[in-house]
Amino acid sequence: MTSELHRPVLIDRIGPGGLDVVVEAGEAERIALARRMDLPAVLALSCAFHLERDAAQRLIGRGHLRAEVMQTCVVSLEDFPAAVEERFTVVFVPAGEESENDDPEAPDEIGYEDGVLDVGEATAEQLALALDPYPRAPNAVLPEVEESAEEHRFAALAAWKRRQ
């Protein structure tokens, strides 16, 4: 399956000094990503990568992601704009050779096939990880809920205790 934001990079292009790649999402790609991530809209998305090999010859991607998205507030259910900015490191590994490392501090591993990295899909995955799972508009406030004594869940116990 091809990603909504497909940006292939041949690993052979990553020389001793590394390789810089910028991913910029076009309008159709942003619409498709918004649908994939259940967002009202992705207004802008870019990610600058520096790809290099480490001492163990692993392929390391250091990225700086910037995005403007519309999210739905969990309090008011209204859409609001949100800025996303994230610096991250990922390790590209041959597909099927991803480790079972559950360490949340370890860099994410992204599989690749046939000597081709997809830095577009890496960008999409990092955007998904950077989004607030419970977005709240800046001025959103929870409504006050008043409970009458009869509605309170311990009202019956309080009434029983008064009769004792």
Size (the chain), residues: 164
What separation, in Å, do the N-terminal and C-terminal C-alpha atoms of the chain show? 70
DSSP E strand stretches across 25-164: 41-53, 59-72, 79-94, 108-112, 116-118
The answer to whether the beta carbons of residues 44 and 67 sit under 8 Å apart is: yes
Query: What pTM value is reported for the model?
Result: 0.81
Query: From CA 32, how far away is CA 34, in angstroms rounded?
Result: 5
pLDDT, residue 40, reads 96
> pLDDT tens-digit profile of 6-49?
999 999 999 999 999 999 999 999 999 999 999 999 999 999 99
78 SS3 class: coil
Q: How is the chain split into domains, by residue range?
A: 8-163
pLDDT, residue 70, reads: 96
60, 52 Cβ separation under 8 angstroms: yes
Over residues 86-134, the pLDDT tens digits come to: 999 999 988 887 888 777 788 888 889 999 999 999 999 999 999 999 9
